[in-house]
Structure 1
């Protein structure tokens, strides 16, 4: 229970219309405020509404993409992931990314832009994402794509 959360917005997000419309959800706040819990709950609701959903941490998604890239299958993996209506990306910003990891994460975000939904959780404000991704330009481009069609809580 997060008293500062907009209950009407959360109820609306629980209808999973965001997934049908390929919109994103971004949950920002300090540790222990229920971001991951809410992300998982929204993912479960999306699955109940017939959407395919996958969950991993930001570092887990990057590791998956690094492995695909090393096999020469990055493009195919990004296309395969688009078959999922919703990807939940937990803990964006807990561990800084090197340049290659930041580029892979950007490619994940860009490949889903206006095609499929992301639910992201982070304990950092958008203003600090440049520190995580090591490049303010990459972070800014990523944030633009994420928030263009998004609800940010």
Structure 2
């Protein structure tokens, strides 16, 4: 900013910075000297300069909100749709996944069930869809079935059942990973059902499991609870069955091959 600015303009500049700070538009206040210099150099109109200044504040605010949503979501990896190699997993319906990534299923509180053996990419796809929802401005929370059951059990012991139910009912999208991988505690199936019931027809849930839908009764040891849970989950749902090669093992093999090539290249 020019050192020859008239005193009255300098005073006006300080007042403007003060106004921006008072309104907590701190990024705009910090950018003000740069924008004013650019406005003079490029002979911007007042409207253009003001739009550019406020754009800086809007972008900074959106970045902070995104960061906050990502912290709350607790996603295990920063995967996006571009990271998933559909060619490496022919068992995945790419067209269906890309349709789900539009997030239209959130509009009518539909669910997504990713079903298949270990290693085929279920968790990665769940994270991909969850990240799309976070980027779109939705509140998302990721947990495993075992963690959810443990939190509910602890809340019940501490007389916080209502609060934990409100917590799991809150996110626009709840991801429950690894259902069936570990046995749920005695009241785990009941807790999971109550979470699903709280969200029924209100918010969407993505669930990954290695247990085929026909085997849920045996997996949970309670046919009534399993049937009630499936009834709510499947009422509005996309079921993505994955019956292909291990995506995870192929990824590890590719990584090992690259390392081996690198070592061989250096040795040569």
TM-score of the superposition, structure 1-length normalised? 0.94
Matches within 5 A, 1:101-112: 101-112=188-199
Corresponding residue SS for 1:124: coil
Structure 2 gaps of 5+ residues are 1-85, 241-268
The CA deviation at 1:103 is 0.8
Q: Does 1:77 align with 2:167?
A: no
Aligned to 1:89: 176
Task: Determine if the alignment matches structure 1 residue 63 to structure 2 residue 150.
Answer: yes
Contact 2:141 2:175 in 1 (8 A): yes
- Per the alignment, in what secondary structure is the counterpart of residue 9 of structure 1? helix
**Which residue among 123, 132, 150 is the counterpart of 1:36?**
123
Q: Deviation at 1:98?
A: 4.0
Which of 167, 182, 200 aligns to 1:113? It is: 200
User: Which has more helix, going by share of residues?
Assistant: 2
State the alpha-carbon separation in 2 of the partners of residues 38 and 131 from structure 1: 26
> Could you say which structure has the greater relative contact order, defined with CA pairs below 8 angstroms and 6 or more residues apart?
1
- Among 97, 109, 116, the alignment partner of 1:10 is 97
Match of 1:22 among 109, 113, 138: 109
- How far the C-alpha of 1:133 sits from its partner, in A, is 1.4
Assess if the C-alpha contact under 8 Å between 2:149 and 2:185 holds in 1.
no
Choose 1 or 2 for highest CA Rg.
2
3-state DSSP class of the match of 1:61?
A: helix
Where in structure 1 are there 5+ consecutive unaligned residues? none
Q: Report deviation, 1:20.
A: 2.7
Q: Which structure has the highest strand share of the two?
A: 1
Shift of 1:67: 1.5
Aligned residues: 153
- Per-residue CA shift, 1:22-54, capped at 9, x if unaligned? 111000011111000000000000111111111
What is the RMSD of the two structures over their aligned residues, measured on CA atoms? 1.2
Deviation at residue 78 of structure 1 after TM alignment: 1.2
In the alignment, is the contact (CA less than 8 A) between 2:169 and 2:195 conserved in 1?
no
Larger displacement relative to structure 2 (5-14 or 41-50):
5-14
Query: 1:137 aligns to what SS in structure 2?
Result: helix
Deviates most, 39-48 or 15-24: 15-24
The answer for the alignment partner of 1:126 in structure 2 is: 213
Q: Deviations over 1:78-99 (max 9, x none)?
A: 1232220111111101122244
